[in-house]
């Protein structure tokens, strides 16, 4: 039998297309501010920067690993049960994350509580599996997962920084608003701790983003 050798043109690891996969989710295709996905966790766990960072790392791990696994299996997954398969993969990864968090950062794990488990239903992850990993090779899928996790994460961290500064006067649990200011009658803003204010902060981020990036403004 004659071997058919298909000579594929080797694509460089960080070709323009691949770099785009990393950069797009940061701004033009940001999962939170543009696609408005994953809002639930963004509102719930951003009261402290620490929680936001841990959440970002967890989502990053699940998203990258999930993307690669689904991408590897993409030709074997029957179309009709693909959602179930994806769910199983993501759920397995999330349980892994959950156990690691419980073992090493127990207090954060307690604060994130149910939201670690809810990573399974985070629309960003399912969205990327469906929209990208199922149709692309592992390497671009990995980059896509990383890019989207960072795009998700920076919004989370920015919201958390604002909320922790104004809500508790701290960052990473370290007090940054001096006691002298409190002595003048300054008080922490409880409203910032409540979820509605997180929504408003996300709104402000979208507002700033759109005023900088006019291509995003719809024409009507």
Residues engaged in binding another protein (CB under 8 A): 185-187, 189-192, 194, 200, 203, 207
Q: Which is nearer to another protein, 172 or 186 (CB)?
A: 186
Q: Which is nearer to another protein, 158 or 194 (CB)?
A: 194
Give the integer Cα–Cα distance in Å for 22 and 148.
Answer: 7
Q: Which is nearer to another protein, 95 or 200 (CB)?
A: 200
Tell me which DSSP letter residue 170 carries.
Answer: E
Residue 107's alpha-carbon distances to 9, 11, 194, 220, in angstroms, are: 50, 44, 20, 48
- Whether the CB-CB separation of 38 and 152 falls below 8 Å is answered with yes
CB of 47 vs another protein, minimal distance in Å: 14
| β partners of residue 171 | 174
Q: Which is nearer to another protein, 14 or 191 (CB)?
A: 191
CB of 160 vs another protein, minimal distance in Å: 18
Q: Which is nearer to another protein, 190 or 213 (CB)?
A: 190
CB of 195 vs another protein, minimal distance in Å: 11
Q: CB neighbours of 121 closer than 8 A, spacing ≥ 6?
A: none
Give the integer Cα–Cα distance in Å for 206 and 190.
Answer: 23
- Whether the CB-CB separation of 88 and 69 falls below 8 Å is answered with no
Cα(first)–Cα(last) distance of the chain, in Å? 62
CB of 183 vs another protein, minimal distance in Å: 13
CB of 171 vs another protein, minimal distance in Å: 20
> Residue 143: helix, strand or coil by DSSP?
helix
């Amino acid at each position: 039998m004659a071997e058919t050798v298909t000579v594929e043109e080797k694509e460089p690891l960080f070709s323009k297309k691949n770099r785009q996969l990393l950069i797009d989710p940061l701004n033009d295709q940001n999962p939170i501010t543009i696609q408005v996905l994953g809002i639930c966790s963004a509102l719930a766990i951003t009261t402290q920067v620490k929680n936001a960072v841990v959440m970002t790392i967890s989502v990053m791990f699940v998203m990258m690993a999930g993307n690669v696994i689904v991408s590897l299996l993409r030709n074997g997954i029957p179309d009709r049960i693909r959602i179930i398969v994806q769910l199983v993969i993501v759920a397995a990864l999330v349980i892994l994350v959950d156990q690691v968090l419980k073992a090493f950062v127990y207090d954060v794990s307690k604060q994130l509580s149910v939201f670690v488990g809810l990573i399974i239903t985070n629309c960003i992850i399912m969205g990327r599996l469906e929209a990208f990993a199922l149709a692309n090779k592992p390497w671009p899928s990995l980059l896509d997962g990383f890019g989207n996790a960072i795009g998700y994460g920076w919004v989370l961290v920015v919201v958390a920084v604002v909320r922790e500064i104004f809500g508790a006067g701290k960052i990473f649990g370290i007090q940054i608003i001096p006691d002298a200011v409190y002595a003048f009658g300054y008080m922490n803003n409880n409203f910032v701790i409540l979820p509605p204010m997180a929504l408003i902060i996300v709104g402000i981020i979208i507002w700033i983003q759109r005023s900088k990036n006019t291509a995003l403004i719809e024409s009507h």
